[in-house]
Amino acid sequence: MAMHALHKIMAAKSGQTAVAPGDIVTCAVDVAGINDIYLMVVHAFRAMGGKRVMRPERVAIFMDHNAPSPSVQGAENQKAFREFAARYGIGHVFEINEGICHQLLPEAGLVKPGDIVVITDSHTTTHGAFGAFGTGVGSTDMAVILLEGSLWLRAPEIVNVKLAGKLRPGVMAKDAALFILGKLGTDFANYKAIEFSGAIVRALPAEERMVLCNMAVEMGAKTTYIAPDDTTIAYLRQYSDKPFAIPATDADFVYEKIYEFDLSGLEPQVALPASVDNVKPVKEALGTPIDQVFIGSCTGGKFTDIEAAAKYLRGKKVARGTRLVVTMASKATLGKAIAAGHYQTLLAAGAAITVPGCAACYGGHSGLLGAGERCATTSNRNFPGRMGDESSALYLVSPLTAAATAVAGKLTHPDYE
Amino acid sequence: MAIRSKAVVLRQNNVSTDQIWPGKYVNISDPGEMAAHVLEGADKTLRDRFKTVGRILVTGSSFGCGSSREQAVISLLQAGVKAVVASSVGRIWYRNAINLALPVLICPGAVDKIAEGDEIAVDLEAGTVTLAGGQVLKGQPVGEFVFNIIKSGGIKQLMRQKHAGEEAK
């Protein structure tokens, strides 16, 4: 039977010759990642009677959500994780200065095509951009992985989202992801895998591809896939020379469904409060007053995002009455931004630049919103209360729209100036 | 294995884990503290209704979409919820519910046929919900693999049995 690359990965990791949608298989996990807010993993591990961690060299703990800890409780949780890591010989501990798990995996050379990556973070779908099977789980599933080195997974049906045409200058992967959400909603891919393909995907740089795969979890997806090509390989080879084989989808594989969009004329998009599929072109919400702009997160705090914002902000100032918070995705992103002069540009424009990490995106710290405030953000979710008070409102946008909005103090994009 | 109780109805779609368990509480990992904030971002009256009205939550589509935070299941269990009936649910939340033995019946449209306080019965194995008047709504039965985890009281119990007797390394 014809198989998709993702099914081949599952077959290889579960010792099966073939895997079909609906099959439940137990797969060896190549990277098991735990975020610092989920100490419940350790509680669950103990509740299961865990005495040793299976393949601790494959386990990574990320001090990314509370980086550095804004609370005593957060500090206590991180302390307990450091003790757990030392006691069980955990292979990788990424400290509070390093950044967000999804950016760190490629930068640390820990993800490659054909891998199964499981992290206690829903945006683990990001790693489909590298030809890996990435999926998020809760604390109890992660404790099972610590015990067994493997996890049961249901092989997903696979839908193909084909993006034909060519994006206009100033239109980014985020706009494409929001457009898809607006058209297809938040659960069209529930329990399924999304492959992104087509001329637009092929033309995107690796970090822009990550945006599509990252936002796929908002479409309900369990995992994602972009067939690795020279762009993928060149990105990964910056950080690692580990060998890998690229799993290929059989030519006669039949997708459950194919969605095709020609995005040649796509305009900048915004997801209005308070659902990720409440999407309109930015021009239909022009002039919405904005109190804070957030440029950050695993979705919108990568180097490509910082660069898009900084190039626009050069020589400009954030509007009086509006604040700009920038939280880069990793220490390496920060280093590159300094080397390219983008950090200096952002600082001069009036940005508050925080420590790399998850921070305000998940409502943790470093830029939360007060009652009734409006924030334009390059992050991934605009659910009620996500970034602060329940009555605050989030507008999901691209980094370029975010930068233009910061300068105008109201929702806009360079196209409309 | 039918679960009987009165329905508490949350007539909303896309109730995210950010609403079930807001981000400001993510550092709380003690289950004993969790009932106090359950569903705070969606409707603050729910936590009391689980005490005064009933123990089966009935809601719309994409319930539990969003983050992987397991408090979004534990807090419901701690608040006394015995089962959830939803039109559809987020994938990670669903896995967490299975692992923690919270019975979840996916039954599209049930939310439109059930009123607050209705006495209902959920049969997970059969995939049905029986309404007060005797009408039976057909949802999605869970497979044997998943049912076995729930029936065993969650995956922790299964793992404890499986790994009992192992030595520390």
Of chain B, the percentage scoring pLDDT greater than 90 comes to 88
Domain with CATH 3.30.499.10 in chain A: 5-242+254-260, 270-416
- In chain A, which residue's Cα lies nearest the Cα of B157? A48
- The two three-digit tokens of residue A246, written as one number: 């690229």
CB contact under 8 A, B70 and A138: yes
> What's the mean per-residue pLDDT of chain B?
94
Distance, CA of B104 to CA of B97 (rounded, Å): 7
Query: Sheet holding B83-86: strands in order across?
Result: B104-106, B83-86, B56-59, B2-10, B119-123, B128-130, B136-138
- Residue A200: what are its φ and ψ, rounded to 5°? -65, -40
- Residue B111 has, within 13 A of its CA and on its CB side, a CA count of 20
Across the range A216-220, mean pLDDT stands at 97
* Residue A160: strand, helix, or coil: strand
Question: Under a CB-based contact definition with an 8 Å cutoff, are residues B104 and B94 in contact?
Answer: yes
Q: Give the per-residue pLDDT at A185.
A: 95
Q: Give the per-residue pLDDT at A296.
A: 98
Across the range A186-210, mean pLDDT stands at 97
Mutate one of B10, B13, B16, B98 to test the A interface: name it (highest A CB count within 10 A).
Answer: B16
Is the omega angle on the peptide bond into residue A68 within 30 degrees of 0, that is, cis?
Answer: yes
Q: Give the per-residue pLDDT at B27.
A: 85
Q: Give the per-residue pLDDT at B23.
A: 86
Of chain A, the percentage scoring pLDDT greater than 70 comes to 100
Question: Under a CB-based contact definition with an 8 Å cutoff, are residues A332 and A356 in contact?
Answer: no
Q: What is the CATH number of the domain that holds B25?
A: 3.20.19.10
- In chain A, which residue's Cα lies nearest the Cα of B100? A140
Q: Give the per-residue pLDDT at B166.
A: 79
**Given the structure tokens 């479409």, which residue do they identify?**
A219
Among A335, A124, A138, A293, CA closest to A210? A124
Tell me whether residue B101 is in a domain: yes
Residue B139: domain span: 2-163
Tell me whether residue B148 is in a domain: yes
pLDDT tens for each residue of B4-61: 999 999 999 999 999 999 888 988 888 889 999 999 999 999 999 999 999 999 999 9
Whether residue A287 has pLDDT greater than 60: yes
Question: Under a CB-based contact definition with an 8 Å cutoff, are residues A9 and A134 in contact?
Answer: no
Query: Could you give the dihedral angle defined by the CA atoms of residues A133, A137, A141 and A145, in that order, rounded to the nearest 10 degrees?
Result: 40
Q: Count Cβ atoms below 10 Å from residue B144 Cβ, excluding itself.
A: 10
B chain contacts of residue A390, beta-carbon cutoff 8 Å: 22, 41
Among A215, A322, A369, A185, CA closest to B22? A369
pLDDT class for A328, splitting at 50, 70, 90?
Answer: very high
Domain A270-416 class, CATH top level: alpha beta
Of chain A, the percentage scoring pLDDT greater than 90 comes to 99
Domain count for chain B: 1
Is the omega angle on the peptide bond into residue A173 within 30 degrees of 0, that is, cis?
Answer: no
Tell me whether residue B169 is in a domain: no
Across the range A160-182, mean pLDDT stands at 98
CATH code of domain A5-242+254-260:
3.30.499.10
The DSSP bridge partners found for residue A396 are A271, A377
Distance, CA of A312 to CA of A403 (rounded, Å): 7
CB contact under 8 A, B70 and A40: yes
Q: Give the per-residue pLDDT at A1.
A: 86
* Nearest chain B CA: its distance from A75 CA (Å): 10
CB contact under 8 A, B18 and A363: yes
**Enclosing H/E stretch for A60:** strand A59-62
Whether residue A288 lies within 8 A of chain B, CB to CB, comes out as: no
- In chain B, which residue's Cα lies nearest the Cα of A53? B169
**3-state SS record for chain B:** CEEEEEEEEECCCCCEHHHHCCHHHCCCCCHHHCHHHCCCCCCCCHHHHHHHCCCEEEECCCECECCCCCHHHHHHHHCCCCEEEECCECHHHHHHHHHCCCCEEECCCHHHCCCCCCEEEEECCCCEEECCCCCEEECECCCHHHHHHHHCCCHHHHHHHHHCCCCCC
Tell me whether residue B168 is in a domain: no
**3-state SS record for A310-341:** HHHHCCCCCCCCCEEEEECCEHHHHHHHHHCC
A chain contacts of residue B97, beta-carbon cutoff 8 Å: none
pLDDT tens for each residue of A244-275: 999 999 999 999 999 999 999 999 999 999 99
Q: Give the per-residue pLDDT at B165.
A: 79
pLDDT tens for each residue of B96-116: 999 999 999 999 999 999 999
The minimal CB distance from A44 to the residues B18, B41, B156 is found for B156
From chain A residues 72-101, the ones with a CB under 8 A of any chain B CB are: 73-74, 77
Across the range A175-181, mean pLDDT stands at 98
Question: Under a CB-based contact definition with an 8 Å cutoff, are residues B25 and B17 in contact?
Answer: no
B chain contacts of residue A121, beta-carbon cutoff 8 Å: 67-68
Q: Give the per-residue pLDDT at B169.
A: 56
Whether residue B168 has pLDDT greater than 70: no
* Nearest chain B CA: its distance from A165 CA (Å): 30
A chain contacts of residue B106, beta-carbon cutoff 8 Å: none
- In chain B, which residue's Cα lies nearest the Cα of A34? B68
Residue type at A237? Answer: R
pLDDT tens for each residue of A355-385: 999 999 999 999 999 999 999 999 999 999 9
From chain A residues 20-49, the ones with a CB under 8 A of any chain B CB are: 24, 37-40, 43-44, 47-49
